[in-house]
Amino acid sequence: MKCLQLNKLKMKKHIIGLLSVLLLFAACKKDESLSVYKVPAGVPSFTSSISAIVLDSTKKNNEAVAFAWSEVNFGINAAVTYSLQFDVSGGKFENPQTTVIGDDMHTASVTVAALNAAALGRGLPAEVKGKLDVRVKAEVKQNGTSTNPSAIPATYSAVISIDVTPYPGADYPKLWVSGSFQSWSASTAIPLADTGFNGAYEGYVYFPATSSDLLFKILTAQNWDNAYGYVSDTKMALGASGNFWAPAAGLVKINANTETKDWSALTTTWSLVGDAVADDWNTDIPLTYDEATGALVNNSVAIKATGAFKFRANKAWTLNYGVDNNKLKVDGSNLTAPQGAGNYKVTLNLTKAGNYTWSVQKL
């Protein structure tokens, strides 16, 4: 009986040992199929079609320069997102202007207007030859999206320097909003502008109450080659399939940051407020959106000779416009009646991204 028990015990040990070997073999086979990140060997090659250019404001839509670069292999089965980065020569890319080109793309054509915006945005003076440094950034999307941060460090090409002579007047970098409100037509998408040349885009888009829904996406150009989509209520990613949405119909302020990947949408109503249009700074004089012109209008406002006023959204001070050097600015200085007391037609136009305007016309 003891001998039989011993044999059974030995048999159990053999079975357990065999199972352990099989499990170890299976684990090894599984590990062999896993992708392993590797540091790319060297840097991507990078070429430019020009070394110097004098930009011409009459040829804004023409190609200024074409760039090409080699593929970067991170050793894993994931899309690689390529971007062009611009900086003033010697700036060390501490605060570059970054333009996302797209996934697995190895060429880019930059228009005269875009190169001029990059040059002025990095501090090159107009009508003076200066050096602009350019490089390619390659990064792997984190968990299938381009939302920062990625656990895999980006890699960069060598720097190319181009002598650029920009013309006066910035053509701000733009993103484009397309959605149900305009039948998802990329060619008629509404622009957002990056007036600070820092990846922070802003603009106002009108969503009619008759729209089938309030969904939209944010395009990098007026085509569907590359689009930002919804990741969360505050984050977006290039190539994400989700749609953004406006909180409600009306004039919607949209912000999108291509550096932080933040986004927001705020439906607004607008009014005048101030002791020049009322007896206090709490009474709102409404402006009405004109779908034909895209402007907010009040056709007859009694403005006093003394006092001042501002434009504000949603009857609150969270978002308001005053002036700075005769341009509309968030939290800017107060406005006054230009021709003394009287009735005025007041117009506020926020639909021209990067160039918001207002007028006060005496009746």
What is the C-alpha to C-alpha distance for residues 117 and 97, in angstroms, rounded to an integer? 10
CB neighbour list of residue 94: distance below 8 Å, 6 or more residues apart: 87
Tokens representing residue 337 in the block: 């009646």
Q: What are the start and end residues of each CATH 2.60.40.10 domain in the chain?
A: 46-165
CB neighbour list of residue 193: distance below 8 Å, 6 or more residues apart: 172, 173, 174, 201, 202, 203, 353, 354, 355
Residue type, 247: P
**Fold that domain 270-362 belongs to in CATH:** Immunoglobulin-like (2.60.40)
> Which residues pair with residue 310 across a beta bridge?
273
CATH classification (class only), 174-268: mainly beta
**Main-chain dihedrals φ then ψ at residue 332, nearest 5 degrees:** -75, -175
User: What's the length of the chain?
Assistant: 363
CA atoms within 13 A on the CB side of 238: 26
CB neighbour list of residue 119: distance below 8 Å, 6 or more residues apart: 55, 86, 130, 132, 164, 166
Could you say which architecture CATH assigns to the domain 46-165?
Sandwich (2.60)
Q: What are the start and end residues of each CATH 2.60.40.3620 domain in the chain?
A: 174-268, 270-362
Burial of 285 (0-12, 13-18, 19+ CB in 10 A): middle
The stretches of the chain forming alpha helices (DSSP H) are 2-32, 112-121
Per-residue pLDDT tens digits of the chain, which is 363 residues long: 434 343 444 444 444 444 444 434 444 444 444 455 667 766 889 999 999 999 999 999 899 999 999 999 888 877 889 999 999 998 899 878 888 898 889 999 999 999 998 998 888 989 999 999 999 999 887 665 555 567 788 999 999 999 999 998 878 899 999 999 999 999 999 999 998 888 999 999 999 999 999 999 999 999 999 999 999 999 999 999 999 999 999 999 999 999 899 999 999 999 999 999 998 999 999 999 999 999 999 999 999 988 999 999 999 999 999 988 778 899 999 988 777 889 999 999 999 998 899 999 889
Taking residue 346's Cβ as centre, other Cβ atoms within 10 Å add up to: 22
What is the C-alpha to C-alpha distance for residues 192 and 177, in angstroms, rounded to an integer? 7
